[in-house]
Structure 1
Amino acid sequence: MGSGDLKKQIAHLEEEIAELKKRWPAHSVKAEMVERFEELEEKLERLRRLEEREQ
C-alpha cells in the first residue's frame, strides 16, 4: 500500500469520525453508534501505525 493511499484512507476515516461525532446525541447514545465509532477509531489507529512504519 502506498503512502498516498494510506493518507487518503486516513483522511476518509477522520472525516467519517467527524461526521459521526456531529450526529452524536448528548444523551442515550445507541449501541450501534458506539460500535461504529470504536470500529472507525481502531481502523484509523491501524492505518496510522502502518503509515509510521512506511516512513
Structure 2
Amino acid sequence: MSYQQQIEQVLARIAELKKRWPAHTPRQSMVEELEELEEELERLQELAHSSENEK
C-alpha cells in the first residue's frame, strides 16, 4: 500500500471519529485515539514527502 493510500485511510478514520465526537466532554479514549491518528498522519506525510524527494 502506498503512503498516499495509507494517508487517505488515516484521514477517513479521523473523519469517522469526528462524526462520533460529542458536543461536550469527549471520552478520554476518543481524545487519545484522535491524537494517535494525527501522529500517524504526520508520520506518513513526512515519509511520503521524503520518498518524493528521493525520486
| Identical residues among aligned pairs (%) | 50
State the SS of the aligned residue for 1:40.
helix
| Structure 2 residue runs without a partner (length 5+) | none
The correspondence for 2:42, drawn from 28, 41, 45, is 45
Deviation of 1:15 (Å): 0.2
The structure 1 segments of at least 4 consecutive aligned residues displaced by more than 2 Å after TM superposition are: none
Q: Give TM-score, length-normalised by structure 2.
A: 0.90
CA RMSD of aligned residues (A): 0.9
Which amino acid is 1:49 matched to? E
Describe how 1:24-43 pairs up with structure 2 within 5 A: 24-43=21-40
| Structure 1 residue runs without a partner (length 5+) | none
State the distance in 2 between where 1:19 and 1:40 align: 11
The correspondence for 2:3, drawn from 1, 6, 9, is 6
* CA offsets 1:24-54 (integer angstroms, 9 cap, x no match): 0010210000000000000000000000001
Q: Give TM-score, length-normalised by structure 1.
A: 0.90
Question: Number of aligned pairs?
Answer: 52
